[in-house]
């Protein structure tokens, strides 16, 4: 069983490397080195500096959102450090282990629970998915040039409300999830002990105030991220529209679900170029914008994460061992 699991992980890693390599090769080939370098040289540094400031504000807003999801159990600085440590781990480790890593970093403190922190990260990702899908549906009429956009946008806004409502019901009615677990192999005896620990992390968001406060922070996070993308586009294309930025933001986030190397290299660039091609942005300019966005987010997240790890006396290798140890223990507890 262990060999089979390790083999699947290894094959998944190889698949991610292959997809990233092919995607990066194709976008570089389509753009061409000379047009790409020329586009990068034309970028207005003033807009890039503004984008960095907005990125930092977005990071603070996401920290506030996650802190609320954790029922304000941890201080703002500790949550901010763990968030960036997770970014760093996602940038250098395979299989999106940064999410587990930040749960380990917070949950292993006295009075904490790793599974409870993981459940809050799950809710954070569900918020991301709900907002991304809502934005995608809302922007599609504009992107496709469908007439009567206001009415279409209103109907899609209803879809976003429905998605948020479903998420709210799943948190308020955890017995629905429990009924699913009871039908899985092993039944309640195998899955319920872990679910009870996860449920503890969801209880905070059963409070309407905490739920809508965290949702508000997440909406602000996305708004600032869209502004960040727009500013980087303006650094190269003065007449870039905000719709381009939010559509690209949505496509690059959804593209992150595709297997890739750590840091999402290749798939992020391909998703960004694809999104901007809808608006007839030349491939070289689209790739220059995407590389700038990716490079800024990757470098700043890694830098802040590395500083946070150093301040706590942690190392990436040591934390990787702790993550694998916890995953192995959790897997054994489910098997028993």
Query: pLDDT tens digits for 307-319?
Result: 999 998 888 888 8
In angstroms, rounded to a whole number, what is the distance separating the alpha carbons of residues 139 and 278?
12
For position 170, what pLDDT does the model report? Answer: 66
Please provide the DSSP assignment of 138-161 as one string: HHHHHHHT-S-HHHHHHHHHHHHH
Residue of 252, 268, 249 lying closest to 260 (CA atoms): 268
208 confidence band (pLDDT: 50, 70, 90): confident
Q: What is the CA radius of gyration of the chain?
A: 21
Q: Is the pLDDT of residue 52 over 90?
A: yes
Determine the pLDDT at residue 1. 42
User: Between residues 192 and 137, which one has the greater pLDDT?
Assistant: 137
Q: What is the pLDDT of residue 2?
A: 44
Residue 243 tokens, joined = 């719709």
pTM: 0.85
Task: Give the tens place of pLDDT for each residue, 159-194.
Answer: 667 767 766 666 666 666 667 666 666 655 666 666
The DSSP letter of residue 191 is H
User: How far does the chain reach from its first CA to its final CA, in angstroms?
Assistant: 14
Residue whose entry in the numeric block shows the structure tokens 């587990």: 100
């Amino acid at each position: 069983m262990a060999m089979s699991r390790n083999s699947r992980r290894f094959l998944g890693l190889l698949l991610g490397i292959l997809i990233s390599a092919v995607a990066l090769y194709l976008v570089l080939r389509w753009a061409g080195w000379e047009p790409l370098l020329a586009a990068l040289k034309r970028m207005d540094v003033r807009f890039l500096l503004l984008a960095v400031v907005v990125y930092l504000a977005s990071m603070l807003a996401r920290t506030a959102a996650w802190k609320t999801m954790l029922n304000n159990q941890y201080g703002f600085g500790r949550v901010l450090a763990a968030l960036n440590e997770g970014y760093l781990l996602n940038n250098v480790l395979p299989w999106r282990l940064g999410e587990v890593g930040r749960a380990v970093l917070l949950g292993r403190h006295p009075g904490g629970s790793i599974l409870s922190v993981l459940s809050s990260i799950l809710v954070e990702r569900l918020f991301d998915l709900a907002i991304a899908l809502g934005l995608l549906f809302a922007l599609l009429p504009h992107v496709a040039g469908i007439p009567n956009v206001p009415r279409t946008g209103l109907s899609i806004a209803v879809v976003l409300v429905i998605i948020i409502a479903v998420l709210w019901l799943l948190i308020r009615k955890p017995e629905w999830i429990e009924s699913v677990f009871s039908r899985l192999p092993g039944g309640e005896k195998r899955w319920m002990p872990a679910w009870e620990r996860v449920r503890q992390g969801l209880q905070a968001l059963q409070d309407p105030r905490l739920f809508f406060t965290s949702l508000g922070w997440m909406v602000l996070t996305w708004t600032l991220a869209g502004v960040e993308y727009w500013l980087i586009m303006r650094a190269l294309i003065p007449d870039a529209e905000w719709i381009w930025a939010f559509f690209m933001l949505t496509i690059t986030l959804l593209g992150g679900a595709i297997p890739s190397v750590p840091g999402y290299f290749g798939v992020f660039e391909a998703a960004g170029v694809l999104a901007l091609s809808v608006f007839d942005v030349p491939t070289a300019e689209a790739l220059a914008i995407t590389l700038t966005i990716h490079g800024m987010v990757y470098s700043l997240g890694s830098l802040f994460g590395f500083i946070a790890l150093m301040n706590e006396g942690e190392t990436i290798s040591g934390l990787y061992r702790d993550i694998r140890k916890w995953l192995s223990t959790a897997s054994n507890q489910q098997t028993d």
